[in-house]
Amino acid sequence: MAKVIIYYSQGGKTDLIARVLGNRLNADLVRIHDLKNREGFKNKLLSSLTSFRESKTDIVPANVDLTGYDTIYFGTPTWSGNPTPAILTIIDRCDLRAKDVILFTTMDNSRAEGTIERLERKVKLRGARVIESFAIPTKNKTPEQLVNDTETMIEMKDLRMY
Protein backbone atom coordinates (compact mmCIF):
# COMPACT_ATOMS: atom_id res chain seq x y z
CA MET A 1 0.00 0.00 0.00
CA ALA A 2 1.48 3.32 -1.08
CA LYS A 3 1.18 6.24 1.33
CA VAL A 4 1.68 9.97 0.99
CA ILE A 5 1.77 12.67 3.64
CA ILE A 6 0.52 16.04 2.41
CA TYR A 7 1.12 18.78 4.93
CA TYR A 8 1.60 22.46 5.60
CA SER A 9 4.02 23.80 8.18
CA GLN A 10 4.83 27.37 9.00
CA GLY A 11 7.09 27.19 12.03
CA GLY A 12 8.64 23.77 11.40
CA LYS A 13 6.97 21.62 14.05
CA THR A 14 4.43 20.09 11.69
CA ASP A 15 7.26 19.57 9.19
CA LEU A 16 9.27 17.63 11.79
CA ILE A 17 6.29 15.45 12.68
CA ALA A 18 5.49 14.78 9.00
CA ARG A 19 9.12 13.79 8.35
CA VAL A 20 9.14 11.38 11.28
CA LEU A 21 5.88 9.86 10.06
CA GLY A 22 7.23 9.60 6.52
CA ASN A 23 10.43 7.94 7.65
CA ARG A 24 8.82 5.48 10.08
CA LEU A 25 5.88 4.62 7.80
CA ASN A 26 7.75 4.58 4.48
CA ALA A 27 5.52 7.31 3.05
CA ASP A 28 6.18 9.95 0.43
CA LEU A 29 6.10 13.58 1.57
CA VAL A 30 4.51 16.58 -0.13
CA ARG A 31 4.96 19.86 1.70
CA ILE A 32 2.49 22.54 0.69
CA HIS A 33 3.83 26.10 0.64
CA ASP A 34 1.50 29.06 1.12
CA LEU A 35 2.54 31.94 -1.14
CA LYS A 36 0.88 34.51 1.14
CA ASN A 37 3.02 36.16 3.81
CA ARG A 38 1.81 34.76 7.15
CA GLU A 39 4.57 36.29 9.36
CA GLY A 40 4.05 39.09 11.87
CA PHE A 41 1.20 39.88 14.25
CA LYS A 42 -1.13 41.50 11.69
CA ASN A 43 -0.65 38.73 9.12
CA LYS A 44 -1.15 36.02 11.75
CA LEU A 45 -4.38 37.68 12.87
CA LEU A 46 -5.62 37.87 9.27
CA SER A 47 -4.50 34.27 8.72
CA SER A 48 -6.63 33.09 11.63
CA LEU A 49 -9.61 34.92 10.14
CA THR A 50 -9.10 33.41 6.66
CA SER A 51 -8.69 29.99 8.25
CA PHE A 52 -12.01 30.38 10.09
CA ARG A 53 -13.73 31.44 6.86
CA GLU A 54 -12.10 28.53 4.98
CA SER A 55 -10.70 31.01 2.47
CA LYS A 56 -8.46 29.65 -0.25
CA THR A 57 -4.89 30.75 -0.85
CA ASP A 58 -2.22 30.44 -3.54
CA ILE A 59 -0.12 27.34 -2.90
CA VAL A 60 2.80 25.41 -4.35
CA PRO A 61 2.39 22.75 -5.52
CA ALA A 62 -1.01 23.79 -6.81
CA ASN A 63 -2.16 20.16 -7.18
CA VAL A 64 -1.05 16.69 -6.08
CA ASP A 65 -1.55 13.59 -8.22
CA LEU A 66 -2.82 10.89 -5.87
CA THR A 67 -2.91 8.14 -8.46
CA GLY A 68 -1.11 5.17 -7.01
CA TYR A 69 -1.66 6.11 -3.37
CA ASP A 70 -4.03 4.10 -1.20
CA THR A 71 -3.59 6.07 2.02
CA ILE A 72 -3.27 9.84 2.25
CA TYR A 73 -2.27 11.72 5.37
CA PHE A 74 -3.19 15.40 5.66
CA GLY A 75 -1.36 17.39 8.31
CA THR A 76 -1.73 20.98 9.43
CA PRO A 77 -1.10 23.26 12.37
CA THR A 78 -4.19 24.46 14.21
CA TRP A 79 -4.83 28.19 13.84
CA SER A 80 -7.44 29.52 16.27
CA GLY A 81 -9.12 26.10 16.33
CA ASN A 82 -9.10 25.73 12.52
CA PRO A 83 -7.02 24.09 9.79
CA THR A 84 -4.78 26.36 7.74
CA PRO A 85 -5.91 27.90 4.43
CA ALA A 86 -3.10 26.06 2.60
CA ILE A 87 -4.26 22.60 3.63
CA LEU A 88 -7.92 23.47 3.00
CA THR A 89 -6.96 24.65 -0.49
CA ILE A 90 -5.09 21.46 -1.40
CA ILE A 91 -7.87 19.23 -0.05
CA ASP A 92 -10.37 21.03 -2.29
CA ARG A 93 -8.14 20.29 -5.28
CA CYS A 94 -7.65 16.58 -4.60
CA ASP A 95 -9.64 13.69 -5.97
CA LEU A 96 -10.13 11.62 -2.82
CA ARG A 97 -12.71 9.16 -4.12
CA ALA A 98 -12.11 5.69 -2.69
CA LYS A 99 -9.06 6.89 -0.73
CA ASP A 100 -8.34 6.15 2.91
CA VAL A 101 -7.34 9.29 4.80
CA ILE A 102 -5.56 9.87 8.09
CA LEU A 103 -5.74 13.38 9.53
CA PHE A 104 -3.34 15.00 11.95
CA THR A 105 -2.87 18.39 13.47
CA THR A 106 -0.36 20.11 15.68
CA MET A 107 -1.31 22.77 18.17
CA ASP A 108 -0.06 25.01 20.95
CA ASN A 109 -3.33 24.74 22.84
CA SER A 110 -6.04 22.12 23.22
CA ARG A 111 -8.41 23.16 20.43
CA ALA A 112 -7.54 20.42 17.94
CA GLU A 113 -11.00 18.83 17.91
CA GLY A 114 -12.46 21.57 15.73
CA THR A 115 -9.57 21.30 13.28
CA ILE A 116 -9.97 17.54 12.95
CA GLU A 117 -13.77 17.85 12.57
CA ARG A 118 -13.44 20.44 9.80
CA LEU A 119 -10.80 18.41 7.98
CA GLU A 120 -12.92 15.28 8.27
CA ARG A 121 -15.95 17.05 6.83
CA LYS A 122 -13.85 18.41 3.92
CA VAL A 123 -12.25 15.10 2.93
CA LYS A 124 -15.52 13.18 3.21
CA LEU A 125 -17.13 15.67 0.81
CA ARG A 126 -14.30 14.83 -1.61
CA GLY A 127 -15.14 11.09 -1.40
CA ALA A 128 -12.58 9.90 1.17
CA ARG A 129 -12.98 7.55 4.08
CA VAL A 130 -11.35 8.81 7.28
CA ILE A 131 -9.72 5.84 9.00
CA GLU A 132 -7.81 7.63 11.75
CA SER A 133 -7.00 11.04 13.19
CA PHE A 134 -4.78 12.44 15.89
CA ALA A 135 -3.36 15.63 17.37
CA ILE A 136 0.10 16.30 18.74
CA PRO A 137 0.56 19.17 21.22
CA THR A 138 3.71 21.14 20.43
CA LYS A 139 3.83 24.01 22.92
CA ASN A 140 7.20 24.34 24.69
CA LYS A 141 8.41 20.97 23.34
CA THR A 142 11.88 20.28 22.07
CA PRO A 143 12.40 18.58 18.72
CA GLU A 144 13.39 15.41 20.59
CA GLN A 145 10.12 15.46 22.53
CA LEU A 146 8.16 15.93 19.29
CA VAL A 147 9.95 12.98 17.69
CA ASN A 148 9.16 10.84 20.76
CA ASP A 149 5.52 11.99 20.79
CA THR A 150 5.19 11.14 17.09
CA GLU A 151 6.71 7.69 17.56
CA THR A 152 4.37 7.10 20.50
CA MET A 153 1.40 8.12 18.34
CA ILE A 154 2.50 5.71 15.59
CA GLU A 155 2.44 2.86 18.10
CA MET A 156 -0.70 3.98 19.96
CA LYS A 157 -2.75 4.38 16.75
CA ASP A 158 -1.07 1.36 15.09
CA LEU A 159 -0.37 3.48 12.01
CA ARG A 160 1.98 0.88 10.48
CA MET A 161 -1.01 -1.29 9.63
CA TYR A 162 -2.37 1.23 7.07
Distance CA 96, CA 114 (A): 21
Q: What digits encode the pLDDT tens for the residues 149-160?
A: 999 999 999 999
User: Which pLDDT band holds residue 135 (cuts at 50, 70, 90)?
Assistant: very high
* C-alpha to C-alpha distances, 128 to 2, 79, 96, 159, nearest whole angstrom: 16, 24, 5, 18
Closest Cα to residue 8, out of 49, 59, 70? 59
d(CA 149, CA 17): 9
Domain ranges across the chain: 3-161
- Please give the pLDDT value at position 79: 80
Whether this prediction's pTM lies above 0.85 is answered by yes
pLDDT confidence bin for 130, thresholds 50/70/90: very high
Give how far the C-alpha of residue 114 lies from the chain's centroid of Cα atoms, to the nearest Å.
13
Question: According to the model, what pLDDT value does residue 11 have?
Answer: 84
pLDDT digits (tens, 9 = 90+) for 75-107: 999 887 889 999 999 999 999 999 999 999 998
* The CATH fold of domain 3-161: Rossmann fold (3.40.50)
Which has the closest alpha carbon to 71: 105, 98, 90, 89? 98
Report pLDDT digits (tens) over 35-75: 776 666 555 655 565 655 566 788 989 999 999 999 999 99
**Percent of the chain scoring above 70 in pLDDT:** 87
> Which residues have C-beta within 8 Å of that of residue 145, sequence separation ≥ 6?
none
